[in-house]
Structure 1
């Protein structure tokens, strides 16, 4: 059998037909974290020695990590530079009535706001010894690519929710919030509704959830969803109406999502737990409200020269994120009022 790895997807800077140990990797995902990994060697057990030279199962079981799914519900765009800008109109074009022969005075023009999603670069720079690459019973390069992709996905998901906007995306929970409605609230400020109690849900929490849904205007409710973590969802699933019916509706058939008040629920483990002054529940149309800007796909460089006998794997991904429509996302705040 040839030692050439066949039919593997090609990464940037790689080509098909590279011998095993070359720069071709087997499928990797887009998404992100800033991660630093120690060098792999066959000298110590937990740093790689467990894989060399014992006969072990070629597939490694990994502990699954919670990856935030905000990317799946947001608007994702590919950009050519880090200077990406988006224009948002914050007011319609006013109109007026006139008789058939009456004068038509000039009307006001729309108002534009420029949105510049804060961008940052995710990177990972692990290395493995050449002996490790040669002797391990599994494909170390493919495994490293998978580990990097998972960590990147975990980190970018956390940034989309709570990122500071400094060298990383700005999370939607870090924007200012206020109780004012869309008609009077400043652009860029998200509306929050109080839960009715200082550190928990108040009385009739199901009515507060209905108010949260109805605070989102009808055009945005098409395609809207709830976002919360598993602990909050466990509590919400126990809420009942006055006649004893659960607010939560399980999917009627396989593959159909469960719903809350008729809207799907997205579990995002980066959302906070229920506590005083937190924002544990979001409801909105994230496709209209949150923008993810990617400059390129994940790039991985293989460097066998700089630190012999180690082979370095330098992975980078440039990504940004920001709220582009503060009317499309509503939040529930744990507060009395």
Structure 2
């Protein structure tokens, strides 16, 4: 249903309860400024979305009667986390108190309320349903995790993927692995050669920002990788294994291990696809992985312009030209190439 105006602003009482303030329409933030969000850019909060209280912050709304912007003084501001397959248009707009705590690195999309429904300014950009919340039965995930932990008792990666990723952080890919379907994540590197400002797995000790998840703390062996990926490729529907996950550093730093694993995997099965999610920093390594049997690559970037890329990624011993070359190499080998485009809403 298309709205005729923006939804009403939300606020939290600090005790886990969220209310609407019908005297204010919600606004959205782009950069440092609050804006009225066009009515046709609101959608119902998708299944799997969450709401956050933003302590020490007052939401900015538009007065229903006067049309003027003002703060919602009834409680703390509220934002939404929109689930995978969606992109938000605007961040939550608020004013921050001097003593407000630093927020962790989550997605804080604007959120409002109208006619008994939550709304967010967003759109679905990916039709694939593989990570839709409705597709997960937590009991079956728990059972699948228990099965894998029992059958691979000495595999550190399986333990990490189940106990850390699937059961603690509810990673969609790890949960799919527990369910024996589609994509199986394969984190491989505890180190990284970029210093991304918004790294979600590791922040410097001196930073007040808290990373959203714990990074892999060990270097897996080729044997550990092969042990569980071959059965997955053999038995899962539409199987794919993906090196390079949010819970690790840069997988190309472990390219020798990955190459050895790919070679061994392909000795046992030709099924499925082998993918790597990477910053694309080591073209020579990408070349070797393609020779070993890599099928696809997804390179992360926040811009197609070097002057925007470099200050955010702050790379060590590689340059923007390297990521372009990595994509070209996979293309030359006939593989599938894509980019993981980091978007700042607004």
Q: Normalising by structure 1, what TM-score? A: 0.28
Q: Which has the higher strand share?
A: 2
Q: Normalising by structure 2, what TM-score? A: 0.27
Larger relative contact order (CA 8 Å, sep ≥ 6): 1
Of structures 1 and 2, the larger Rg is shown by: 1
Q: Which has the higher helix share?
A: 2
